[in-house]
Amino acid sequence: MSVSDIENQSGVACLMTPRGRGAVATIALRAPLEQLAAKTRSLPSFFLPRNRKPLHQQSTGKILFGKWGEEELVVCRTGDDEIEIHCHGGEAAVARILSDLEKLGISIVDASNYLKMVSDAWEADYVQAISRARTFRTASLLLQQREIGLEIWRELEKSLESSYWKTLDEQARSGHRKIMQQMRQWAEFGRHLGTPWHVVIGGPANVGKSSLINILLGYERAIVVDQPGTTHDVVSAETALQGWPILLSDTAGLRETGDQLESIGIELASQTMQKADLQILLLDRSISPDRESRKLLASFPDALFVFNKTDLDAATGWKDIEFPQSPLEVSCRTGEGIEHLVEKIVQRLVPRTPPDSLVYPVTDRQQLLLNRLEQLAD
């Protein structure tokens, strides 16, 4: 069913929050509310506010408490013919409400189609980006971009016509190119406002990688076993460091081995390390460096080097090793140095932030438009 077909129906609704278990789910509904009120007489389970006034008589922006059948929930009128339903996040509650809406002739669509109906493409683009934000900090930045960038992208889209560029002299073209280059400089930062930075912890076997990821996450996500070579797969979990979303991955011990299964895990660990936004190379300071440790240092010169087990005496062999930068020192047992490590991780991932007044791409659609405009400007 196309968007135009849907608009000819009695109304449209969609689940705005991700499917699955959650505390609260949000369902958006767009329909002629006065007509909907007449239809609900045949559906006693439809939402009834505590003030017992129908939805079309409620004030816009007012939060309404009431029941949908036996379940208590909250509804807010967000526009003349638009409401948001906030209910229990379980699948059963969502399915029951959507089923009731269908009985009233409401078409159930996905979020993408719904946004195309209630807003233009650029507004929908920002709404979807904001919905992917993992933290308050990134959501705030995306909301700020929406406020200052919406009209900018609309205007930039108009300049896709080649005739527009033919009217510009070289000085004007140069000015356009400079602005677009400034925007592009922050494209990777903008992408990460909706996608976590990937930090991979690697190193020799049994140096405490699982312990480190546990302490950074704040809970025991990885299984810690005092036996070399026990981690065969990449174990990942999300967290936030200083408000920035981070995907942390714990990898197999990087070493030479004749075990086929372990070799596969080590190869996967190496590939994951290479693709990461930041590599943390964890080393055991209490054990003298061997050939494998030296090889790892040469293979990942841009990694953040970290010594673990600083609560133990340091082996003398490390004094002869030349590091690209001085290793940080932590103890996963005592927690010493972890706060400083977090600061360094954030500094490496987000060394600076863009000016508040600058618009930069935060979605694939915006990035694609920027690419096309740069081609026209050349």
197-349 shares the fold of 3-118: no
Q: Which amino acid is at 96?
A: R
Choice among 84-98, 249-263, 309-323 with the minimum mean pLDDT: 249-263
| Contact of 83 with 32, CB cutoff 8 Å | no
Residue 268 dihedral angles phi and psi, to the nearest 5°: -65, -40
Residues 6+ away with beta carbon under 8 Å from 341 = 216, 306, 328, 330
Separation CA 268–CA 46 (nearest Å): 52
User: How far is CA 66 from each of CA 41, 89, 90, 171, rounded to the nearest angstrom?
Assistant: 16, 17, 18, 62
The CA angle 241-247-249, to the nearest 5 degrees, is 115
DSSP string, 189-241: HHHHTTSPEEEEEE-STTSSHHHHHHHHHTS--SPP-SSTT---S-EEEEEEE
CB atoms within 10 A of CB 100: 17
Residue 29 pLDDT greater than 60, yes or no: yes
Q: Domain boundaries in the chain?
A: 3-118, 129-186+357-377, 197-349
% of the chain surpassing 90 pLDDT: 34
Q: Using alpha carbons, select from 94, 74, 95, 93 the residue that is nearest to residue 85.
A: 74
Q: Which helix (H) or strand (E) holds 1?
A: none
The partner residues of 28 in beta bridges, in order of sequence, read 14, 84
pLDDT level of residue 224 (50, 70, 90 thresholds): very low
| Contact of 111 with 124, CB cutoff 8 Å | no
Q: Where are the alpha helices (DSSP H) in 2-135?
A: 3-7, 33-39, 91-103, 111-118, 121-131
Structure tokens at 72: 């208590």
Separation CA 303–CA 294 (nearest Å): 13
* 117-156: pLDDT as tens digits: 777 889 888 988 888 888 999 999 999 999 999 999 998 8
Q: Using alpha carbons, select from 306, 304, 300 the residue that is nearest to residue 284.
A: 306
Q: Using alpha carbons, select from 158, 149, 128 the residue that is nearest to residue 364.
A: 128
Angle between helices 338-349 and 209-217 (to 10 degrees): 80
Structure tokens at 364: 């694939």
Sheet holding 328-329, edge to edge: 235-241, 244-250, 197-202, 278-284, 304-308, 328-329
Residues 6+ away with beta carbon under 8 Å from 176 = 168, 373, 377
Q: Taking the model in full, what pTM does it have?
A: 0.73
pLDDT level of residue 115 (50, 70, 90 thresholds): confident
Hey, is 107 helix, strand or coil? strand
| Mean pLDDT of the residues in the chain | 83
pLDDT at 300: 85
Q: CATH assignment of 3-118, given 2.40.50.100, 3.30.1360.120, 2.170.150.20, 3.30.200.20?
A: 3.30.1360.120
Residue 7 pLDDT greater than 80, yes or no: no
* 170-220: pLDDT as tens digits: 888 888 888 889 999 999 999 999 999 999 988 887 888 888 988 998 855
The partner residues of 248 in beta bridges, in order of sequence, read 199, 237
pLDDT level of residue 229 (50, 70, 90 thresholds): very low
DSSP string, 299-334: H-TTSEEEEE-TTSPPPGGGGG---SSPPEE--TTT
Say which CATH topology domain 197-349 has. Answer: Rossmann fold (3.40.50)
